[in-house]
Amino acid sequence: MEKQMQLLWELQGIDAGLDEIRNTQESFAPKLDNIKEDIALLQGAEEEYQGELAAKEVERRDLRDKVEQLKGLIAQSKEKISQIANNKEYFAVLKELEHNQKQLERQDLELTGLVEEIDSIKEQIAENEKELSAKDAEMALEEKAIAAKVATLERKIKSGDRGRKSKTKDLDQTFLRRYQRIRKRFKNAVVAAENGTCLGCNVNVPPQVYIDLLKGQGLMCCPNCQRIMVHRDEASAEKKK
**CA 136 – CA 101 distance, rounded (Å):** 52
C-alpha 79: how far from chain center: 69
**The amino acid at 36:** K
User: For the purposes of burial, counting CB atoms within 10 Å of the CB of 28, is it exposed (0-12), middle (13-18) or buried (19 or more)?
Assistant: middle
Is residue 198 within the footprint of Zn ion (CB under 5 A)?
Answer: yes
Is residue 53 within the footprint of Zn ion (CB under 5 A)?
Answer: no
SS (H, E, C) 192-240: EEECCEECCCCEECCHHHHHHHHHCCCCCECCCCCCEEEEHHHHHHHHH
Cβ-based nearer residue to Zn ion, 24 or 224? 224
Is residue 93 within the footprint of Zn ion (CB under 5 A)?
Answer: no
Single out the residue of 176, 201, 219, 237 in contact with Zn ion (rule: CB under 5 A): 201
Cβ-based nearer residue to Zn ion, 114 or 205? 205
Query: Closest approach of Cβ 203 to Zn ion, in Å?
Result: 6
Strands 228-231 and 197-198, how do they pair?
A: unpaired
Is residue 188 within the footprint of Zn ion (CB under 5 A)?
Answer: no
Query: Closest approach of Cβ 198 to Zn ion, in Å?
Result: 3
Size of the site for Zn ion (CB under 5 A): 6
**CA 82 – CA 86 distance, rounded (Å):** 11
- Contact assessment for residue 5 and residue 234, using Cβ atoms and an 8 Å cutoff: yes
Is residue 230 within the footprint of Zn ion (CB under 5 A)?
Answer: no
Is residue 221 within the footprint of Zn ion (CB under 5 A)?
Answer: no
Is residue 125 within the footprint of Zn ion (CB under 5 A)?
Answer: no
Looking only at residues 131 through 150 of this chain, which bind Zn ion when binding is defined by CB under 5 A?
A: none
Taking contact as CB under 5 A, which single stretch among the options 16-24, 141-149, 206-214, 220-228 is the one that binds Zn ion?
220-228
Q: For binding to Zn ion (CB under 5 A), which residues are involved?
A: 198, 200-201, 222, 224-225
